Amino acid sequence: MATTKKTEGYSRIFEGDPAGIEFLHEVKKKVTIVFDEDGNPVGEYTSYPTPKLTTLQIGACGVLLLQYHLLRMGIESSPMTTDSGIDLVAYSPIQKKALTIQVKTNLRPKPGGGKGKLALDWWVRKSSPAELVALVDLESEGIWLFTHQELLKLAQQQPEGRLHFYFYVKGQRDLKIKKGNLSREEDYVKYQLENRCAELFGLH
């Protein structure tokens, strides 16, 4: 049976600027070495730490991911420059109309309640001016698209002025859900972006 050993060190990276001057940076890395049963090294894997993203960067990634997928479907969109509750305006060439979209983004699933099963959750203003709301998970690159009215009906919690929508991600064992409680990822397949574009943007 193979065993592993992790070590940490520094990797030297050389970069050249346009003037031809080289800079030396030291980047921390983690090396995982795999040994066989006799203690002989049989493999080595090197990984580098992922930079921590700010809330603004996470949000920007979500908007860009949605724009990318919309463009792949032939739908052009433009970001709004002001924070008015609308992140994108998408134009449907078939319907010849524009739709406003608010984008809410998660970096990755989190344990429900801090210790429970992995879940994704988003908060949306109840008075959001956008016609559509896109909910994004960066880890899986999943996108779910709702009309604002749909989200008003589906949000499991609605404290004053806000909508709290969540579901538990698929693939988890012993997930106990009350009958009729739509709180599993599988319950929202029809709201995935690729399943909504025909209805919302007139694509065939």
Residue 65: exposure state from Cβ atoms within 10 A (0-12, 13-18, ≥19):
buried
Amino acid in the structure at residue 103: V
Higher pLDDT, 124 or 12: 124
pLDDT of residue 37: 75
pLDDT of residue 165: 95
> How many Å apart are CA 149 and CA 87, to the nearest integer?
18
> Could you write out the DSSP letters of every residue in 57-78?
HHHHHHHHHHHHHHHHTT-EEE
Tokens 């992140």 belong to residue: 87
Whether residues 189 and 95 share a domain: the answer is: yes
Domains held by the chain: number: 2
Element holding 149 (H helix, E strand): helix 148-154
33 contacts 49 by C-beta, under 8 angstroms:
no
Give the CATH number, domain containing residue 74. Answer: 3.40.1350.10
Q: Please list, in sequence order, all residues whose beta carbon lies within 8 angstroms of the beta carbon of residue 114, skipping any fewer than 6 positions away.
A: none
> How many Å apart are CA 123 and CA 162, to the nearest integer?
7
> Which of 50-64, 118-132, 177-191 comes out lowest in average pLDDT?
177-191
Pairing of strands 97-106, 132-137: parallel
pLDDT of residue 179: 63
Q: What is the pLDDT of residues 116-160, one digit of tens each?
A: 889 999 999 999 999 999 999 999 999 999 999 999 999 999 998
Whether residues 90 and 190 share a domain: the answer is: yes
Q: What is the pLDDT of residues 69-80, one digit of tens each?
A: 999 999 999 999
**How much is the average pLDDT of 78-98?**
91
Whether residues 37 and 74 share a domain: the answer is: no
Residue range(s) defining the domain that contains residue 121: 55-201
Tokens 């319907």 belong to residue: 95
